[in-house]
Amino acid sequence: MATLRLGDTAPDFQQDSTEGPISFHQWAGNSWVVLFSHPADFTPVCTTELGKTAALNGEFARRGVKPIAVSVDPVNQHREWVKDINETQNTTVNFPILADADKKVAQLYDMIHPNSLANATVRSVFIIDPKKVIRATLTYPASTGRNFDEILRVIDSLQLTDSHKVATPANWKDGDEVVIVPSLQDPAEIAQRFPKGFRAVKPYLRMTPQPNK
């Protein structure tokens, strides 16, 4: 199938998982979702990633986000792997891992890149909003573990910019200055939306304190 793009609806699916059968859209409900794939079970980098995801449970919950992982190995193998993750990463895996042995999800989401890994999923990340729209994607090679601070940063940016007429500049972190979108030109609306004022670096580059802080 064609590669999924930003703004596309995240495909629905039914698949088994470590928490039982999952119907994806129903499971997601009104939450944001981070769907991320792993090349295989019992692999070192994936073990650290799943442990980090579990450790960040509070950060995901605070943002209304449900993480869900996918690997092409069967569910009984996943459950054995979870024991290793909990032991070595000093945490408790508290989210489902899809058992995608038939590669249904991997194929729906174009997670298998034959020129990189012929039979396994690369490290794909899909950030999906409550309307089931794909809002951001990230793809890493098997050798490189994901930066979960960046994943949280992207979610923060998406949630902020959905609620306010702003964009986030390079290296932005929650609490930093943001950019007033160029399409907003009405002085009265600008004053109402940004009571702390703004500084015009250029007419098209107007910086303002983060409005929800």
What order of strands is seen across the sheet that includes strand 199-202? Answer: 166-167, 178-180, 205-208, 199-202
Listed in sequence order, the residues at least 6 apart from 166 whose beta carbon sits closer than 8 Å to its beta carbon are 160, 178, 179, 180, 181, 208, 210, 211
Is there a catalytic annotation at residue 103?
no
By the 8 A CB rule, do 39 and 142 touch?
Answer: yes
Rounded to 5°, the CA angle 58-61-64 comes to: 160
By the 8 A CB rule, do 11 and 109 touch?
Answer: yes
Determine which one of 46, 69, 75, 160 is catalytic.
Answer: 46
Which residues form the catalytic set?
46
